[in-house]
């Protein structure tokens, strides 16, 4: 399926990328073209074994980010919608979701899973989000910051589209512990499936530099669940 022109990546709506990194973005896009074929089971297996994180806390946190939100929520690096679909089934009031991803294959699957009634897919690069400043008062990025090349640029872009006092929710995989999980994670970086193996301190610094103030941090194995706020001014 080809995505509608209205939601397809276009230079007109995305503006220009920060200098450098477009090769890296293309490499990740290409890697996810293949990963999309079996993303949900492989991602779950990796999360449980390599990162020793549980699904329950991740789903609960994602649900908190969405539940009853009265305005559209921007979900950056939404992927194939498999995690979002699990969360949505648990929501009492389901907000409209603007789901952005660089991979057409992942987005196509997301449309199949989430439908179009309360889901608007947008193909684009998280590093130059195609929305005016202060467009959203809630932005999510689940499983994206360790994948997107130059995550500090993506954070700056997400902070830009967030309104003052707006909230940012994210899940981030950290550098795993132990020889084989580390080696495997490094291999995923070589293959373009991951870009950054964060340590918590480096992640906190990147959030701070983007102007996002920590509100809450939950440890889930070698995954961090993060809630931040953009200051009032
Ligand atoms: C690990 S998946 C996360 C999917 C989903 N949010 C989840 O938690 O299961 C990472 C996603 O980031 C997307 N991605 C990678 N680089 C990107 C970029 N520069 N801009 C937008 N999305 C990007 C990939 O295509 C992939 O769908």
DSSP annotation string for the chain? -PPPTTTS--HHHH--PPSS-HHHHHHHHHHHHHHGGGHHHHHHHHHHHTS---HHHHHHHHHHHHTT-SS-EEEET-TTSHHHHHHHTT-SS---EEEEES-HHHHHHHHHHH-SSSEEEEE--GGG-SS-TT-EEEEEEES-TTTSSSHHHHHHHHHHHEEEEEEEEEEEEBPPSSHHHHHHHHHHHHHTS----B-HHHHHHHHHHTT-EEEEEEEETTEEEEEEE----
Q: How far is the CA of 132 from the centre of ligand 1 (A)?
A: 21
For the Cβ of 127 lying below 6 angstroms from any atom of ligand 1, the answer is yes
pLDDT attached to residue 135? 97
Give the pLDDT band of residue 5 (cuts 50, 70, 90).
Answer: very low
| pLDDT single digits (tens) 218-231 | 999 999 999 999 99
Cα–Cα distance measured from residue 205 to residue 208, given in angstroms and rounded to the nearest whole number: 5
pLDDT attached to residue 110? 97
Atom of ligand 1 nearest to the CA of 125: 20
| pLDDT single digits (tens) 102-136 | 999 999 999 999 999 999 999 999 999 999 999 99
Nearest-CA residue for atom 3 of ligand 1: 143
For the Cβ of 87 lying below 6 angstroms from any atom of ligand 1, the answer is no
* Pocket mutation for ligand 1, best pick of 25, 58, 77 (most atoms within 8 Å of C-beta): 77
Q: Kindly give the pairing relationship between strand 162-173 and strand 223-229.
A: antiparallel
Query: Mean pLDDT, the chain, as a whole number?
Result: 91
* Pocket mutation for ligand 1, best pick of 30, 40, 142, 144 (most atoms within 8 Å of C-beta): 144
CB 226 within 8 Å of CB 170: yes
Burial of 154 (0-12, 13-18, 19+ CB in 10 A): buried
For the Cβ of 65 lying below 6 angstroms from any atom of ligand 1, the answer is no
Atom of ligand 1 nearest to the CA of 58: 8
For the Cβ of 144 lying below 6 angstroms from any atom of ligand 1, the answer is yes
Q: Kindly give the pairing relationship between strand 136-142 and strand 73-76.
A: parallel
Residue 41: alpha-carbon gap to chain centroid: 18
| pLDDT single digits (tens) 138-184 | 999 999 999 999 999 999 999 999 999 999 999 999 999 999 999 99
pLDDT attached to residue 26? 83
pLDDT attached to residue 12? 34
Return the CATH class of domain 28-229. Answer: alpha beta
Give the pLDDT band of residue 18 (cuts 50, 70, 90).
Answer: low
| pLDDT single digits (tens) 31-88 | 998 889 999 999 999 999 999 999 999 999 999 999 989 999 999 999 999 999 999 9
Work out the average pLDDT over 10-37.
69
Domain boundaries, the chain: 28-229
Residue 22 has pLDDT above 90, yes or no: no
* Pocket mutation for ligand 1, best pick of 86, 101, 161 (most atoms within 8 Å of C-beta): 101
Residue 9 has pLDDT above 80, yes or no: no
pTM value is: 0.92
Atom of ligand 1 nearest to the CA of 127: 19
Give the pLDDT band of residue 8 (cuts 50, 70, 90).
Answer: very low
Residue 2 has pLDDT above 80, yes or no: no
pLDDT attached to residue 16? 54
| pLDDT single digits (tens) 179-208 | 999 999 999 999 999 999 999 999 999 999
Residue 17 has pLDDT above 70, yes or no: no
For the Cβ of 122 lying below 6 angstroms from any atom of ligand 1, the answer is no
CA angle 55, 203, 176 (to 5 degrees): 50
């Amino acid at each position: 399926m080809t995505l509608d022109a209205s939601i397809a990546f276009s230079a007109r709506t995305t503006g220009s990328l920060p200098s450098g990194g477009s090769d890296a973005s293309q490499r990740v896009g290409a890697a996810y073209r293949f990963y999309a074929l079996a993303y949900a089971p492989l991602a779950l297996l990796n999360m449980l074994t390599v990162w020793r994180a549980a699904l329950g806390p991740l789903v609960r946190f994602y649900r908190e980010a969405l539940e009853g939100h009265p305005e559209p929520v921007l979900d950056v690096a939404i992927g194939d919608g498999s995690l979002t679909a699990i969360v949505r089934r648990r929501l009492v009031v389901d907000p409209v979701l603007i789901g952005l991803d660089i991979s057409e294959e992942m987005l196509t699957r997301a449309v199949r899973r989430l439908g179009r009634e309360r889901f608007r897919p947008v193909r684009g690069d998280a590093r130059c989000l195609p929305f005016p400043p202060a467009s959203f008062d809630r932005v999510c990025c689940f499983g994206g910051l360790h994948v997107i090349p130059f995550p500090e640029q993506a954070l700056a872009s997400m902070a830009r589209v967030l309104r003052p006092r707006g909230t940012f929710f994210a899940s981030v995989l950290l550098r795993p512990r132990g020889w084989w999980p580390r080696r495997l994670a490094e291999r995923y970086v070589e293959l373009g499936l991951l870009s950054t193996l964060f340590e918590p301190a480096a992640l906190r610094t990147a959030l701070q530099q983007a102007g996002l103030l920590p509100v809450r941090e939950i440890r889930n194995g070698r995954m961090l669940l993060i809630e931040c706020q953009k200051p009032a001014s």
